[in-house]
Structure 1
Amino acid sequence: MDSLESLTRQIKGAKELNTIVRTMKAMAGANIGQYEMAMESLDDYWTNVSLGLVAYLKHIGLGTPDTKQKTKNNKAEKSICAIVFGSDQGFVGQFNDALSEYVSKSLSTQEGKLEIWTVGVRVPLLLTDMGLTVTKQFNLPNSINATTTLIGSILVQLEENWENGNLDEYYLFHNHLVKEGAYQQEKLRLFPLDEKWLQDKGQLKWPTQKLPEIIGDSDKLIHRLIREFLFVTLYKTCTESLASENFSRLNAMQRAEKNIEELLDNIGHTYHRLRQSSIDEELFDVIAGFTALKKEKK
C-alpha cells in the first residue's frame, strides 16, 4: 500500500508532467496558426502559377510541358522517386505510423526502380522496418522561416537528377488537414505534369476577359513557371504536413492532459483517504491513552 510520502511524490510528478503537457499544447496551438497563415498566403500565388502553366500549354498545344518526357518513357525501366514528409518529434499519435503504412501500400503497386526521400527522422525508421530503402534524408524545418531552405535543397537535388535522367517521376506523400483536428494521408504527383493535371487545372478560369499571350523567350518562361510551380507545391505540401503534425500533437496533448487530471483526481482521493485514516488512528490512540489514564486515577 502506498504511503503518504509516496503519494505526495506521485502528485508532485503528475503536476510537473501536466505543466510540460500544457506548454507543448500551447506551442502546438501557436505553430498551427503560423502554418495556416502560410497555407492561405500560398493559395493565390499557387493559383497564379498554375494559370500561367495552363495558358502556356494551351498556347503551344501540348498535353505535357516537357518534351523530354516522351523520350524517357521509352526507357526499359521507369525510375520513380517518392518524397515523404514526416515529423522529427514525438507525441503525434499515429501521424508517422499511418503515413508509413500508406506509403508502403501505395508503392507496393509501383513498377520500376524506386527511390525514397524522407523529411524528418521518424519516418525513415518506420519505412525501413517495412522493408523499404530510404536513399536520401532531409532535415525537417523547426519554423516557418526555415522551410524555404528545405525546399531549396530538395529542388537542387530534383533538378540535378532530372537533367541527368536519373529519375522519371516524382510523387509527394504527406498528411494534410481535412477538417479541424483531423487529417488524412495524400499522394500527389509532383513532376512531370501529366494530362490529368492539365485536365484538372484546365478548369481554372482566367481572371479577365483578355486571352493570355506568350511574350519573350518561351523556353525560359516555361522553365521558370515549372520551377515556381515545383517550389510552391513543395512549400505547400511541407506546411500542410507541419500543420497536420501540430494538430495531431495538440490532440495528443489534450488527451494526455485529461488522463493526467484523472490520475491526479484518483491519487488525490487516495491521499486524502489515507491521511484521514492516519488522523483517525492518531485520535483513537489519544482517546485510548486518555481512557487508560482516567482509569488509573480512579
Structure 2
Amino acid sequence: MSDSAASLRRKISSAGDLQSVVRTMKAMAASSIGQYERSVLALADYYRTVELGLGACFRESAPVAVIAPHNERSNPGVIGAIVFGSDQGLVGQFNDVIAEYAIKTLSTLPGKTEVLAVGERVRARLANSDLQMIGLFPVPNSVQAIAPLVGQIQIASEARRAEHEYTQVYVFHNRPKPGGLYEPVSQRLLPLDAQWQLGLTNVPWPTKSLPEVISGSIATLRALIREYLFISLFRACAESLASENASRLAAMQRADRNIDELMVTLQSTFRRLRQDAIDEELFDVIAGYEALSKTANV
C-alpha cells in the first residue's frame, strides 16, 4: 500500500513538472504566432503593390517571356516543388497534412518531380513517397531568419533550373485559418506565362491617375519579377510558421487538458489509497485495544 502511494506521489510530481513544460511551450507558441501573423499582414500591402506594378508594366507592352528555360534541349518535363514543414515535433498532424497534400497534387502532374523540403520532419514523410528529394533547409526560428532562407532557396532553385528545364515550379505550405486552424495550399511560381501576365493586367488601378513606367520597362519588369518571387516564398514561409505555431498551441492545449485530467485521477487515487491506509491502521488499533481489553478481563 505504501509503495503504491509512493509511486503515485512520483507520478503526480512528474505530471506537475510536465505540465509546467507544456504551459511554457504553449506561451511560447502563442507569442510566436503573433509575430508571424503580423509579418503576413505586413506582406499583404507590399504584395499588392508589386502586383499593381507588374500589371502596369504588362499593360504598356505585349506579354513577354520574362523567365524562360535556359536550354530547350535539356531534360523536359521536370517539375520543381518547395514544401514547407517543421523541424520540431508536437505539432499534431501539421507535417502529415502538407506532405499528403503535396504528394497527391504532384502525382497528378506529368513528368519527373524534384522536391526541396524546408523542415526535417516533413522531409521524412515526403521521403516515403516516390518523390525525389534534392535538398533540405532548416526552418527559420524568427521573422528575421526568413529572408536569408528565401535567398538560399532561390539560389538552390536557380542552380537546379540551370541543369534542367523546369516546366513548372510549385510551393506548398499550410496557411492559417480563423480559430487556430490551418489548411494546405499551393502556388505555382513558374512559369510566368501569358495567362499569369493577363491576370495581372486585369487588376484595376486603385486611382484615376494611370501609372507610367520609367527607367526602361524591361529593367523595371525584371526588378518587379524578382520581388514577386521573393515575396511569394517569404509569405509562404511566414504563413507556414504561423500555422505551425497554431498547431503546436492547439497540441499543447490538448496536452494541458489531458494532464489536468490525469492529475485529478492520480490525486483521487492517492487520497483513496491514503484513506484506506488510515482506515487499516485504525482497524489495527481498535483490534489491538479489544484484544487487550479481553486479556485484562480474563
Q: TM-score range with shorter-chain normalisation? A: over 0.9
Q: How far does residue 261 in structure 1 lie from its aligned partner after superposition? A: 0.7
After alignment, is 105-114 or 270-279 more displaced? 105-114
The aligned runs of 1:127-276 (5 Å cut-off) are: 127-162=126-161, 166-276=165-275
Aligned to 1:56: 57
Aligned to 2:28: 27
Aligned residues: 296
Q: How far does residue 249 in structure 1 lie from its aligned partner after superposition? A: 0.6
Q: How far does residue 61 in structure 1 lie from its aligned partner after superposition? A: 1.9
Q: How far does residue 15 in structure 1 lie from its aligned partner after superposition? A: 0.8
- Aligned identity (percent) is 46
TM-score by structure 1 length? 0.93
Distance between the aligned counterparts of 1:37 and 1:13, measured in 2? 37
Distance between the aligned counterparts of 1:234 and 1:67, measured in 2? 17
Distance between the aligned counterparts of 2:296 and 2:58, measured in 1? 113
Distance between the aligned counterparts of 1:21 and 1:294, measured in 2? 57
Distance between the aligned counterparts of 1:229 and 1:67, measured in 2? 12
- Structure 1 runs not aligned, ≥5 long: none
Could you tell me whether the CA contact under 8 Å between 1:65 and 1:222 is conserved in 2? no
Distance between the aligned counterparts of 2:67 and 2:41, measured in 1? 33
Q: How big is the alpha-carbon RMSD for the aligned residues of Structure 1 and Structure 2?
A: 2.0
Q: How far does residue 72 in structure 1 lie from its aligned partner after superposition? A: 6.8
Q: How far does residue 295 in structure 1 lie from its aligned partner after superposition? A: 2.0
State the one-letter code of the partner of 1:120.
Answer: G
- Structure 2 runs not aligned, ≥5 long: none
Could you tell me whether the CA contact under 8 Å between 2:99 and 2:126 is conserved in 1? yes
For the pair 1:293 / 2:279, whether they are aligned, the reply is: no
Question: Residues 196, 260 of structure 1: CA spacing in aligned structure 2 closer, same or farther, 3 A cutoff?
Answer: farther
State the one-letter code of the partner of 1:46.
Answer: Y
Could you tell me whether the CA contact under 8 Å between 1:162 and 1:168 is conserved in 2? no
Q: How far does residue 240 in structure 1 lie from its aligned partner after superposition? A: 0.2
For the pair 1:82 / 2:70, whether they are aligned, the reply is: no
For the pair 1:5 / 2:16, whether they are aligned, the reply is: no
Distance between the aligned counterparts of 2:67 and 2:283, measured in 1? 95
Question: Residues 159, 128 of structure 1: CA spacing in aligned structure 2 closer, same or farther, 3 A cutoff?
Answer: closer
Question: Residues 208, 74 of structure 1: CA spacing in aligned structure 2 closer, same or farther, 3 A cutoff?
Answer: farther
What's the secondary structure of 2:133's corresponding residue? Answer: coil
Distance between the aligned counterparts of 2:6 and 2:75, measured in 1? 73
Question: Residues 199, 254 of structure 1: CA spacing in aligned structure 2 closer, same or farther, 3 A cutoff?
Answer: farther
Q: How far does residue 161 in structure 1 lie from its aligned partner after superposition? A: 4.0
What's the secondary structure of 2:132's corresponding residue? Answer: coil
What's the secondary structure of 1:68's corresponding residue? Answer: coil
